[in-house]
Homo-oligomer: A and B are copies of this chain.
């Protein structure tokens, strides 16, 4: 197992992160990061029960010490193995209220999660990814964006500031590390994802929420692209979404 390539999925809850972990677990050992272990325990167990190899590490990506500790554990578990893919799917920073009611902490929560958290994740994974260019699929770093990556709507400034910053980071890394053989992508999720938390949200039409499994398929597709033909940005939305 030591030399089996592995993938790291950050921001795993019972939705997109879990589906991405399941998908990548067909090919790789997977490490799941989330602040709250409750968010990854069941999917870790499920993957291992199905013959995959998964571990979970409680991590606060916005905290350098927590990140340091997590990647030490990763190094112990997978040290000699090549890192095939890293996916940054952290939520957080989704505060919505009138601007003048925001505290500094509420406003900066978007950047803490999407900016600082992504910075730490990228700094830890890129040195490993750069060593993995001999794998069949180019090593890949994917960031999850949102509608707010492109549009700063009224009362959404904390989240939009974080998601805009994340997109800036993704572009910058794609331009710096692409020529070094690491595929950096940014996927814009534009709509409501079909997860337990949104079960009660109903729409006039059926199939109006994004399917986490289908999102994971698109992440995997990006991962399998050869370096001649890399996608940087892909926007995903339900067929009935207004945009």
Residues of A with Cβ closer than 8 Å to B? 64, 98-100, 102, 104, 107-108, 111, 115-116, 119-120, 122-123, 126-127, 138, 148, 151-157, 160-173, 175-179, 181, 183, 194, 205, 207-211, 214-215, 217-218, 221, 224-241, 243
Complex Cα–Cα for A228 and B211 (A) = 6
- Contact A119 to B100, CB < 8 A, known contacts A175-B154, A214-B229, A239-B179: no
A168 touches B152 (CB 8 A): yes
- Show 29 residue pairs from A and B whose CB-CB distance is below 8 angstroms, ordered by the A residue: A64-B104, A99-B126, A100-B123, A107-B116, A111-B115, A115-B161, A151-B171, A152-B167, A152-B170, A153-B175, A154-B175, A156-B172, A160-B169, A160-B171, A160-B172, A161-B165, A161-B172, A164-B167, A178-B239, A178-B240, A207-B227, A210-B228, A211-B226, A217-B225, A228-B238, A229-B236, A230-B236, A230-B239, A233-B233
A119 touches B107 (CB 8 A): yes
> Which residue of chain B lies nearest to A177 when distances are taken between CB atoms in the complex?
B99
The chain B residue sitting closest to A159, CB to CB, is B168
Complex: A211 Cα to B225 Cα, angstroms: 10
CA distance A232 to B242 in the complex (A): 13
Q: Take A207-B228, A230-B238 as given contacts and tell me if A111 and B218 are in contact as well, using a CB distance cutoff of 8 Å.
A: no
Assembled-state Cα–Cα distance A152/B122 (Å): 15
Asked if A157 and B179 sit within 8 Å, CB to CB, the answer is: no
Asked if A100 contacts B115 (CB within 8 A), the reply is no
Extra contacts, 10 of them, besides A153-B175, A161-B168 (Cβ < 8 A), are A99-B126, A111-B115, A111-B165, A152-B172, A161-B165, A179-B239, A207-B226, A211-B226, A211-B229, A229-B236
A208 contact set on B, CB distance < 8 A: 228
> From residue A224, how far is it (CB to closest CB) to chain B in Å?
8
In the assembled complex, the Cα of A241 lies from the Cα of B138 at a distance in Å of 16
Task: Give the shortest distance, in Å, between A226 (CB) and chain B (any CB).
Answer: 5
Cβ-closest 9 pairs across A and B: A152-B171, A214-B229, A164-B168, A154-B175, A152-B172, A160-B168, A154-B176, A164-B164, A157-B172
* A112 CB, nearest partner CB in chain B, Å: 9
Contact indicator B165/A162 (Cβ below 8 Å): yes
Q: Is B123 touching A116 in the complex (CB atoms < 8 A)?
A: no
Establish whether residues B194 and A228, one from each chain, have CB atoms under 8 Å apart when the complex forms.
Answer: yes
